[in-house]
Structure 1
């Protein structure tokens, strides 16, 4: 989370993160609690494991479009992920240098939706006849950063939003939020003991008043046991739809990741462990449940706690 503004990528990531931080209250709540507890001395000490974006699989949009920004700034496309039930595909992208976060981009397989949902999405996106990223000067970091908050299509009506949400809450979220940052992720394993484990850190979060996503359990664990993930539940935010209709909907959230050392490095002293010694990539089963941090079943827990 440290932005030195030394490179275009620094500027782009800062311009993506700052509006998100301003609108997701849990970001500052967690940072202040970590400082008060002595886990960090300042917010910039937090290591950002990854940031994530949601997209629509329609012509000129989706992964193939958005990834161009990160590939142009040194990211490398890595493994693919497939989510059958949620009708999603995804890739993760390795950063050009260890101090930068990984990128995770998912895409809704729109062609697998009902004709009703497809028609709503098409209504708002069919006017996009060229890839909007191609119109950006990718060497201009300010212009590139602003793209993530550029309204590529009009907001839907409230009825259309609710209709989409019946079939896929992911689609409804993207239709309203577009490329808004979905979440950033605190690297828990980089924190001082005993808060470098998700079990202890989750207790700290809940003592702070953070409501955790319980889909698949509060801690989602990869098959190899080397990647553990939790997330906060998105809080409700005011949304204004077409014709001025208003309703509170799920915003963005914060994720927490604990990566364990690979087997061949597990006997190394913690002080010598570096990023390359830890488990890389992601896990479909984990991510499948993390997506639900913006889903109504989870979000209502925050409402009920209010």
Structure 2
């Protein structure tokens, strides 16, 4: 593991700064929390995890993007498979508790129709070699720039719509590339009255936020120890090739409650640390969270 926390701070700081600029709900949630006295400022929020979406083609995908975070001390953990959405994913444990977990998913491009594959590779083939392999990973500023740069040309609206009919995930990635998909508020560390998903969902809805209700507004793992919810992605005006414009799904905000594991149930709340809580992710939860950018959800926020 590299002892390069300053570099990691810079990379994660750059991601969050631009994400807040692109996703109004982030500051909106923070402002509502401050207004109700849940927190004094956004720095008090523990970020449970951040997530990226990628295309599964040889020169890109998980095996390319993960190199950045492995370099900064993250460790690859469990694999997840989403057959209906044709996705693979891994989560990554951070080098220290103060950092968020990372979740990277990848579209199984070869599982799509020949036409969808043709559209996708017409863009991704512009990337002829692994771009992360060409980065100086010790240069956090260069890494930050890379994570906010276009990997391929701006797509046409026609191609975007064609992909969306088969895979809304594919359409989101072809336009957004590696932009941060979401960050996640750890609600279990908040003050009493806001420290469970049901309580926090009630807070969100009374403050006007629209929640993803795919599989229910609260998604809970079979063991009952991981509950999650998310806002519905707001529609943003996107500029496509040739000057065409269209309102499309942007990013969203997620919320997670990790309950204390059985062996540590008797610990006083002040002594509970991350290691005492349910770790990892749950495919069933994540499968429905993905739909926060899908039209079945985003139409509810219009």
With normalisation by structure 2, the TM-score equals 0.98
The residue aligned with 1:210 is 209
Is residue 157 of structure 2 the alignment partner of residue 162 of structure 1? Answer: no
- Structure 2 CA distance for aligned equivalents of residues 7 and 290 of structure 1: 31
The residue aligned with 2:74 is 75
The residue aligned with 1:102 is 101
The residue aligned with 1:176 is 175
Task: Compute the displacement of 1:140 (Å).
Answer: 0.6
Task: Compute the displacement of 1:269 (Å).
Answer: 1.1
Query: For 1:202, what is the secondary structure of its paired residue?
Result: helix
- Structure 2 CA distance for aligned equivalents of residues 302 and 127 of structure 1: 35
Which ranges of structure 1 fall in alignment gaps of 5 or more residues? none
Query: For 1:297, what is the secondary structure of its paired residue?
Result: helix
The residue aligned with 1:245 is 244
Alignment of 1:103-122 (within 5 A): 103-122=102-121
Q: Find runs of 4+ consecutive structure 1 residues off by over 2 angstroms.
A: none
Asked if 1 retains the 8 angstrom alpha-carbon contact of 2:228 and 2:257, the reply is yes
**Matched residue pairs, number?**
299
Alignment of 1:185-196 (within 5 A): 185-196=184-195
Asked if 1 retains the 8 angstrom alpha-carbon contact of 2:187 and 2:194, the reply is yes
Task: Compute the displacement of 1:126 (Å).
Answer: 1.1
**Cα RMSD (Å):** 0.9
The residue aligned with 1:256 is 255
Which ranges of structure 2 fall in alignment gaps of 5 or more residues? none
Query: For 1:81, what is the secondary structure of its paired residue?
Result: strand
Query: For 1:7, what is the secondary structure of its paired residue?
Result: helix
Task: Compute the displacement of 1:37 (Å).
Answer: 1.0
Listed one character per residue, the Cα deviations across residues 109-138 of structure 1 (whole Å, up to 9, x for unaligned) are 000000010000010111222100011110
The residue aligned with 2:141 is 142
Asked if 1 retains the 8 angstrom alpha-carbon contact of 2:5 and 2:72, the reply is no
Alignment of 1:209-228 (within 5 A): 209-228=208-227
The residue aligned with 1:269 is 268
- Structure 2 CA distance for aligned equivalents of residues 128 and 192 of structure 1: 47
Task: Compute the displacement of 1:143 (Å).
Answer: 0.7
With normalisation by structure 1, the TM-score equals 0.97
Listed one character per residue, the Cα deviations across residues 63-121 of structure 1 (whole Å, up to 9, x for unaligned) are 00000000000000000000000000000000000000000000000000000100000
- Structure 1 CA distance for aligned equivalents of residues 259 and 160 of structure 2: 40
